[in-house]
Amino acid sequence: MSDVHIHKVPKAVADHAHINKEVYEAEYQRSIENTKGFWDEKAREFLTWSKPWDVTVEHDFPKGEVKWFTGGKLNVSVNCLDRHLETRGDQPAIIWESDDPAVDKTYTYKELHAEVCRFANGLKAEGVKKGDRVCIYMPMVAEAAIAMLACARIGAVHLVVFGGFSPDALKDRLLDSEAAVIIVADESVRGGKAVPLKANADQALKSCPSVKSVVVVQRTGGSIDWTDGRDVWYHDLLENASDDCPAEEMDSEDPLFILYTSGSTGKPKGVLHTTGGYLLHAAVSHKYVFDYHDGDVYWCTADVGWVTGHTYIVYGPLANGAQTLMFEGVPTYPDASRFWKVVEKHKVNIFYTAPTAIRALMAKGDDYVKTCDLSSLRVLGSVGEPINPEAWEWYHKVIGGGRCPIVDTWWQTETGGILMTPLPGATDLKAGSAMQPFFGIEFGLVDNEGNEVTGNPAEGILVIKKPWPGMFRTLFGDHQRYIDAYFANYPGMYFPGDGARRDKDGDYWITGRVDDVINVSGHRMGTAEVESALVLHPAVAEAAVIGYPHDIKGQGIYTFVTLMDGVEATDELRQELVNHVRKEIGPIASPDVIQWAPGLPKTRSGKIMRRILRKISENLIDELGDTSTLADPSVVDDLIANRPSQ
C-alpha cells in the first residue's frame, strides 16, 4: 500500500482538538490496559448518575452476558436535557430544517425539555408504563426526537421504524415487539412529495392487537382516516399535559430502545440497547470523534429510523449539550446544492453523512457546491459503508476545502456507537480507511478456522475481543439467536460480520460483509429478506438475491428469479415484481436488476451457490471457478447467455 497518499493532521486542527496524537496513543493504551479505570472516569465525567454503580463491567460472551455499570441509576432524558438547563437553557438544542428551504425551527434546551416533559405526561395518560414498547414511525421532524426522549423519561422502550418502510414491514416490527402505542405523523414530506404515514400505519394495525393507541403528529394537515377511541392528536395530548414530569430512575441495564436490523437469515433482528453504557458510549464518541466543542453546530444527515440517527442526531449530541441539526428533506431537493445551502444557512461546523450521498452529489458536478459558503465547516464524517477513495478525495477537497479532516467511522446497529475511526486532531488520514480503534476497543483478524492472523499487513474476518459500553445486550425475544449469530462463531469474541485488512502501518480497511447482508445506499438489508418478499408473489417459484457493485448506491440489488411453470417472463411482470418488493419491504429494497433464471446453480444437496451468482452479476464470467459440484452445470451457461443489459 506504499502508493496510498497520507493526509497529515493539519497543525491548526491538532492544536484545537480535544485529542491529539500523543493523547490518543496514551489514552488508547490506558483504555485497553485499565478498561475499568478508563470507563469509570468517563462515566463520571460525561454522565450524571442519581446513584453510582457497583461494578463497572461484567461479561461472559459465550453465554451472551454483558453488563456495564451494574447498580448505577440514571435517566437518559435528564442527562440529555435537565442537567443542561442551568448552563445552556436558552441555547439551541435541535435546529430543525424542513423539506421546504424556507422553513426551519429551533428548539432551545428549555423548550425541548418542556415539550418532552409534556409529551411524557401525555404518554402516561395513554397508559404507557415503564418497560412498555412504543413504536415511533415518523418523518424527520423534531417530534420524533421528542418522542424518543419522552419514552426515555418514563422508562418506556422505543422502537423507531424508518418512515420509508412499508405497512408490512411495520407490522412485523409491531408484532415482534408487542408495542402498546405507535406515534406517527399524518404524512411525511420528502423532496416536495407527501407520503401517507398514517394510512400505512392504519393498514399495519389491522393485524396488530397489542397496539391500543395511535398518537398522530400533524405535519401536513392532509386528510387521514380516524379511529375514535384509538387515535389521538399529539397536540391535544400536549395541551392537556403538565410540563412537570419527574423522570423515572432507571437502572444502568434497563432497556432504552429496540431497533430492528437485518441479519443474513430470517426475519429482522430486534437489537436491544440499554441505558448507562449506551449513553456513555454515545456521548464520549460524539465528543471525541467529531471533536465537538461548545457552541459548534453539528449536523448528521441520517434518518432517526437508523442507528446513526439515534446515537449521533439525538442521544450523543444532546448528552453533550450540543446543537444538533435535524434535516427533513433529501440532498437533491430543490436541487443538488441543498446540503451545502443548509451548511451555509446554519453555519454548520461538523457534517456527517454517507458515502452514497457524497457519490450522488459528486456526480452532479462542483457547480452546486461552489455557489455556497462552506467556510464554517471544520470536521467531516462518513458512515454506513466503505467510502471509495475518489468520493473521499472529492469530499475532502471540494466540500472540506482541503482543510477539514474526514472521520470515516465504522460501526453497526449492534455496536451502539463508533468503534473504528480516525480522530480529527490525532490521526493522519488515508482515503478509504477507517484507520484505528476507538478507546477501549480491541480488534483482531481471524482466518476461516478462527485462528488469529497476527502481524502487519494482514487480512481476515474482523472480531472484537472485549465488551464495550455501547454494545447491544440481546435480540429482543430471542437471546439464543444473539449468542448464535454473534458469539458462537469465534468463541470468546464478538463477530460483527465484516471482513477487514490491516495495512503495514496497522491501519484498518473494511472490506465489506462476509455474510449475506448487503448495503444499498448505506441501508443494511438481508438478501434473505428480499428473497422472502419475492417468493410471496404467486408467479415466483424461487429467487436468489445478490449485492453487486453500483456506482452510486455502493451495492445494488441483483435478483435471479425462477418463475412458476407456465408463467410468461414479461417486462410487465418484471415491473410488477419490483412494485411487489417495494410494497412488502419499502422502496429501499427495490431490485435494480431482475434476471429470469430457468434454474439456479445449486449443489447436489440443494444449496444455492451464491459465489457463482455473484460473478455472473458482476459479469466476471472468467472467474466462475469450479462449477463441477453443481447438480446441473448447464444452468450457469443459460444465466451467462441471458444476462440482462444494465
In whole angstroms, give the CA distance from residue 310 to residue 639: 43
**Would you give the binding string for ligand WTA spanning residues 319-338, x where CB under 6 A is met?**
--------------------
Nearer CB in complex with ligand WTA: 188/412: 412
CB 506 within 8 A of CB 1: no
Q: Please choose, from the candidates 42, 464, 56, 94, the residue with its C-alpha nearest in 3D space to the C-alpha of residue 279.
A: 42
Is residue 497 at the binding interface for ligand WTA, with CB under 6 A as the rule? yes
Nearer CB in complex with ligand WTA: 7/293: 7
**Would you give the binding string for ligand WTA spanning residues 258-277, x where CB under 6 A is met?**
---x----------------
Nearer CB in complex with ligand WTA: 119/306: 306
Task: Give the total residue count for the chain.
Answer: 646
Nearer CB in complex with ligand WTA: 262/559: 262
384 is in an annotated binding site: yes
Is residue 527 at the binding interface for ligand WTA, with CB under 6 A as the rule? no
Q: Within 418-447, which residues bind ligand WTA (CB under 6 A)?
A: 434
Evaluated on CA atoms 122, 128, 131, 132, the torsion sign reads negative
Q: Which range binds ligand WTA by CB under 6 A, 40-48, 407-415, 571-579, 589-597? A: 407-415
In whole angstroms, give the CA distance from residue 392 to residue 398: 10
In whole angstroms, give the CA distance from residue 491 to residue 179: 34
Nearer CB in complex with ligand WTA: 440/601: 440
231 is in an annotated binding site: no
CA dihedral 28, 32, 35, 41 (to 10 degrees): -10
Is residue 556 at the binding interface for ligand WTA, with CB under 6 A as the rule? no
* Binding test (CB under 6 A) with ligand WTA, winner from 35, 275, 285, 413: 413
Q: How far is the CB of 273 from ligand WTA (least distance, A)?
A: 12
193 is in an annotated binding site: yes
Q: Which range binds ligand WTA by CB under 6 A, 194-202, 301-309, 529-537, 553-561? A: 301-309
Which helix (H) or strand (E) segment holds residue 578: the answer is helix 571-584
463 is in an annotated binding site: no
* Binding test (CB under 6 A) with ligand WTA, winner from 176, 498, 507, 529: 498
Give all strands (DSSP E) within 109-207, no chain letters.
133-137, 157-160, 181-185, 188-190, 193-195
In whole angstroms, give the CA distance from residue 382 to residue 174: 31
* Binding test (CB under 6 A) with ligand WTA, winner from 392, 394, 395, 410: 410
Give the up-direction half-sphere exposure of residue 476: CA atoms within 13 A in the CB hemisphere.
28
- Grid cell for residue 399: 466540500
408 is in an annotated binding site: yes
| Residues 6 or more apart whose Cβ sits within 8 Å of residue 525 | 262, 517, 518, 519, 557, 585, 588, 589
Burial class (CB in 10 A: 0-12, 13-18, 19+), 85: middle
Give φ, ψ of 516 to 5 degrees: -95, 35
Is residue 475 at the binding interface for ligand WTA, with CB under 6 A as the rule? no
Q: Which range binds ligand WTA by CB under 6 A, 1-9, 31-39, 394-402, 406-414? A: 406-414
CB 135 within 8 A of CB 183: yes
Residue carrying the nine cell digits 428480499:
530
Q: How far is the CB of 625 from ligand WTA (least distance, A)?
A: 24
Give 390-457 as a DSSP string. Answer: HHHHHIIIIITTTTS-EEEEB--TTTSS--B---TTT--EETT--BSBPTT--EEEE-TTS-B--SSS
Q: How far is the CB of 311 from ligand WTA (least distance, A)?
A: 8
In whole angstroms, give the CA distance from residue 68 to residue 496: 20
Q: Please choose, from the candidates 378, 381, 376, the residue with its C-alpha nearest in 3D space to the C-alpha of residue 395.
A: 381
Residue carrying the nine cell digits 418512515:
163
Evaluated on CA atoms 583, 584, 587, 591, the torsion sign reads negative
Nearer CB in complex with ligand WTA: 412/617: 412
540 is in an annotated binding site: yes
Is residue 35 at the binding interface for ligand WTA, with CB under 6 A as the rule? no
In whole angstroms, give the CA distance from residue 548 to residue 339: 28
Nearer CB in complex with ligand WTA: 111/505: 505
Q: Within 106-135, which residues bind ligand WTA (CB under 6 A)?
A: none
* Adjacent-strand bridge partners of 252: none
Is residue 412 at the binding interface for ligand WTA, with CB under 6 A as the rule? yes
CB 384 within 8 A of CB 429: no
Nearer CB in complex with ligand WTA: 187/385: 385
* Binding test (CB under 6 A) with ligand WTA, winner from 409, 427, 474, 595: 409
CB 590 within 8 A of CB 584: no
Nearer CB in complex with ligand WTA: 433/595: 433
Q: Within 372-401, which residues bind ligand WTA (CB under 6 A)?
A: 383-386
386 is in an annotated binding site: yes
Residue whose Cβ sits closest to ligand WTA: 413
Residues in the interface with ligand WTA (CB under 6 A) total 22
* Binding test (CB under 6 A) with ligand WTA, winner from 282, 510, 616, 635: 510
Nearer CB in complex with ligand WTA: 53/438: 438
Give the up-direction half-sphere exposure of residue 519: CA atoms within 13 A in the CB hemisphere.
19
Nearer CB in complex with ligand WTA: 30/614: 614
Q: Which range binds ligand WTA by CB under 6 A, 131-139, 155-163, 302-310, 468-476? A: 302-310
Is residue 496 at the binding interface for ligand WTA, with CB under 6 A as the rule? yes
* Binding test (CB under 6 A) with ligand WTA, winner from 108, 519, 527, 559: 519
468 is in an annotated binding site: no
Q: How far is the CB of 480 from ligand WTA (least distance, A)?
A: 21
In whole angstroms, give the CA distance from residue 22 to residue 528: 46
- Grid cell for residue 253: 441495564
Q: How far apart are the first and last CA of the chain?
A: 33
Binding site, annotated residues for CoA: 190-193, 308, 521, 582
Q: Which residues bind ligand WTA (CB under 6 A)?
A: 261, 306-308, 383-386, 408-413, 434, 496-498, 510, 513, 519, 524
Binding site, annotated residues: 190-193, 308, 384-386, 408-413, 498, 513, 521, 524, 535, 537, 540, 582
Binding site, annotated residues for ATP: 384-386, 408-413, 498, 513, 524
